[in-house]
Structure 1
């Protein structure tokens, strides 16, 4: 899917991607990981927190779910970061703070390949303008999220050039590793992945070894999550 909205609601300088398996408040240290990481986003299973310059109001947001990696980032994006996110069910959607409905243009699922690992590119410009205004409506800050299926890997910072980002980003700091799902969720994880991949399995029987082997080859099993 591809969509753009000029009315993406921002509160407390943040918005999210949520999966249907995410439990509210589970990723309670996300903003701290943003500040001590790449300066713009932090991912956990079924959850992505994105940090804005604008405290309250609107930003312009474009989203794209695709099956192949994007090309090099365009030069006019001030901060660009790639990070890994796991989707247990194959459903990931934009969510403002407080649970309000996102604009229809960016409401669809971005996990186009079903359950599994995705790479997320977060691109921003205008965060300094948003920080200076604090409350912005109409928008002065623009973000773009691009997701595609890819094995897990540490964060990759293409660049951080805005003052909002440079205030916390340290290029000498080791890149943050991806966070895998809880290994105790193995069975439900494999069943969700099999359904999203079109593999028929009996919910009343154990998962066949052949399905486990396919999941392992696809990088789905928790034992294969380490980059």
Structure 2
């Protein structure tokens, strides 16, 4: 396993992008036709991820695995989606903040988006200098395309976004 990003990610409006394209689509377009509403992957080269917190900073980790990793029981909400970035050089962004993420390989990947603490973070809405509440993991590995999947859902806000997909 390789850690590609591990930091507090600034969020505004409760979303984060991972993309190999410059022109980002509408958030609803990225979830079109999916079962899950937490991680949109319907637009090639783009992942759109929803956070519980509207504005502030959230711990966010991106990992690369050679094969599908074991699922940690600590994560409250987990979804998986197919992801086909156009290059290995990606941008991790939210509104005006952005970071570079370099993948070991491009092509057909599986993305597992994991979240904990979404309901309480959603209730708090905005945290600027306070301790973080929600945290996120995006695990990536080479895999053949497969439909998106809701692996685990325990939070009310995840249920809401799944209904919106």
TM-score scaled by structure 2? 0.86
| Deviation for aligned residue 1:32 | 7.2
Aligned match for 1:77, one of 75, 78, 93: 75
Aligned match for 1:152, one of 131, 145, 152: 145
Does the Cα contact within 8 Å between 1:87 and 1:116 map onto a contact in 2? yes
Q: Give the aligned partner of residue 9 of structure 2.
A: 8
| Deviation for aligned residue 1:34 | 7.4
2:121 corresponds to 1:119: no
Q: Give the aligned partner of residue 125 of structure 2.
A: 134
CA deviations over 1:6-40 (Å, ceiling 9, x no partner): x2100100011011xx1423x22436727963131
User: Are residues 35 and 15 of structure 1, via their aligned partners in 2, closer, same or farther at CA, if it must alter by over 3 Å?
Assistant: farther
Q: Secondary structure of 1:50's match?
A: strand
Q: Give the aligned partner of residue 163 of structure 1.
A: 156
How many residues are matched?
A: 159
Q: Return 5+ residue gaps in structure 2 as ranges.
A: none
Q: Give the aligned partner of residue 200 of structure 1.
A: none
| Deviation for aligned residue 1:151 | 0.9
CA deviations over 1:101-128 (Å, ceiling 9, x no partner): 33xxxx431x322x31110000000111
Hey, which of these two has a bigger chunk of strand by percent?
2
Q: Return 5+ residue gaps in structure 1 as ranges.
A: 171-175, 177-227
Does the Cα contact within 8 Å between 1:36 and 1:168 map onto a contact in 2? no
2:45 corresponds to 1:46: yes
Q: Which protein has greater RCO, CA pairs closer than 8 Å, 6+ apart?
A: 2
Q: Secondary structure of 2:162's match?
A: coil
Does the Cα contact within 8 Å between 2:109 and 2:143 map onto a contact in 1? yes
CA deviations over 1:115-168 (Å, ceiling 9, x no partner): 311100000001111111100233211000000111111012111110101224
State the alpha-carbon separation in 1 of the partners of residues 10 and 161 from structure 2. 24
Moved segments of 4+, more than 2 Å = 29-37, 90-93, 167-170
CA RMSD of aligned residues (A): 2.2
Q: Give the aligned partner of residue 195 of structure 1.
A: none
Answer with 1 or 2: which has the greater Rg. Answer: 1
TM-score scaled by structure 1? 0.64
Q: Give the aligned partner of residue 85 of structure 2.
A: 87
Hey, which of these two has a bigger chunk of helix by percent?
1
Q: Give the aligned partner of residue 224 of structure 1.
A: none
